[in-house]
Structure 1
Amino acid sequence: MSALAVILLMWLVTYLPRWLGLNLGHLQLPAFWQAFLRFVPVSVFPALLVPDVLGSPEWPQRLMGCVVAVALLLRTRQLALGILGGFAAYWLARVLSG
């Protein structure tokens, strides 16, 4: 399969559901699916994050950054502060570990 065909097919499977969702937005999902979809971001984010954090040779530093970021997010409810604090803790742990 050519690269152009792959790109076009990838565009189709990502663009079409978005287009349908925007144009058919007046349709309501059943309550079960609304409740189910509420948990998708909460489960997908750790599934993407944990292998990257724990699968790295510098996992202790990354874990420290994650712990600080989560603590700040839970305490302040400010995303920017959590991200900046997590990065600062990660870099500080890297500097201290040599």
Structure 2
Amino acid sequence: MTPFLTMLGMWAVTWASRYLGLSLGGLNLPPFWLAFLRFVPISVFAALVVPDIASAPDAVRRALAAVLAGLLMWRTRQLAVGILGGFGGYWVLRWLGIG
């Protein structure tokens, strides 16, 4: 398969899934599914981040920064504050030589 056909197929799948999701916006789902769908974004984020933290040579430093980021996001309910705090905590820990 050529790269162009691969990209075209990826575009088609992405477009179709987004179109389907947007067209179902007015659909009334049962409370169970609404509660279930609330946790999908954080689950996907955790699935992307945790393996990188656990397999890094500086895993302790990254884990401490991730805990700091999680606490900041939980306390402020602001994603940007958590991300910036996590990055800042990581660099401070690195500068201090911890982890």
Which bin holds the TM-score, normalised by the shorter protein?
A: 0.7 to 0.9
Larger mean CA deviation between 43-52 and 21-30 belongs to 21-30
Deviation, 1:30, is 4.1
Q: TM-score, normalised by structure 2?
A: 0.82
Q: Could you give the per-residue CA deviations for residues 77-97 of structure 1, whole angstroms, max 9, x where no partner exists?
A: 232222221111100111122
| Percent identity (aligned) | 54
Deviation, 1:7, is 0.5
Deviation, 1:37, is 2.0
Q: What SS class does the counterpart of residue 74 from structure 1 fall into?
A: helix
Q: CA RMSD in A?
A: 1.9
Taking the aligned partners of 1:50 and 1:79, their CA distance within structure 2 comes to 17
Deviation, 1:6, is 0.4
1:34 aligns with 2:34: yes
Taking the aligned partners of 1:39 and 1:3, their CA distance within structure 2 comes to 34
Larger mean CA deviation between 1-10 and 65-74 belongs to 65-74
- Give 1:9-88 correspondences, 5 Å limit: 9-88=9-88
State how many pairs are aligned: 98
Amino acid paired to 2:97 = S
Taking the aligned partners of 2:23 and 2:74, their CA distance within structure 1 comes to 36
**In the superposition, relative to structure 1, how do residues 37 and 52 fare at CA in structure 2: closer, same or farther (>3 Å)?**
same
Taking the aligned partners of 1:24 and 1:76, their CA distance within structure 2 comes to 31
Taking the aligned partners of 2:79 and 2:31, their CA distance within structure 1 comes to 29
Q: TM-score, normalised by structure 1?
A: 0.82
Structure 1 unaligned residues grouped into runs of 5+:
none
